[in-house]
Amino acid sequence: MEPRSVGGEPGRRPRDAALAKSRVGVLLFERGWTDQDLAERSGLERVRINRIKNGRVQPTVREALLIARAFGCRVGDVFSLPDDGPG
């Protein structure tokens, strides 16, 4: 079951929700991979990879796990919460 969405797209965030920081683009570059390479390794669609990489949608937990596994690292190495500033 896909998460509720804004604008009809699964996984799309509400306008006031903070986006998780993504290192997908950096990790792709470091490995010399394309979005299509990651799509094939993760089992996700290339368009979905691109939207996650560009911060247009939040990955679901499942997607984050699949992406991290494809890169051979932990989810926290690929995605992190934004800094809230000094607390």
Question: Does the residue 2 lie in any domain?
Answer: no
Q: For residue 83, what are the contacts with CB-CB under 8 A and spacing of at least 6?
A: none
Q: What is the pLDDT of residue 33?
A: 98
Q: Is residue 36 part of a domain?
A: yes
Residue 72 belongs to what domain range?
31-79
Tokens of 39: 């799509």
Those residues with Cβ within 8 angstroms of residue 15's Cβ, 6 or more apart along the chain or in another chain? 6
Does some domain include residue 74?
Answer: yes
Cα 40 from chain centroid? 15
3-state secondary structure of 39: helix
Q: With respect to residue 40, please indicate whether it lies within any of the assigned structural domains.
A: yes
Kindly state the average pLDDT of the residues 75-81: 95
Q: How confident is the model at residue 20 (pLDDT cuts 50, 70, 90)?
A: confident
Q: Give residue 82's pLDDT.
A: 80
Residue 6 placed within a domain: no
Into how many domains does the chain fold? 1
In a domain, 25, yes or no: no
Q: What is the pLDDT of residues 22-37, one digit of tens each?
A: 999 999 999 999 999 9
Give the pTM: 0.76
Residue 5 domain-assigned?
Answer: no
Q: Write down the pLDDT at residue 43.
A: 98
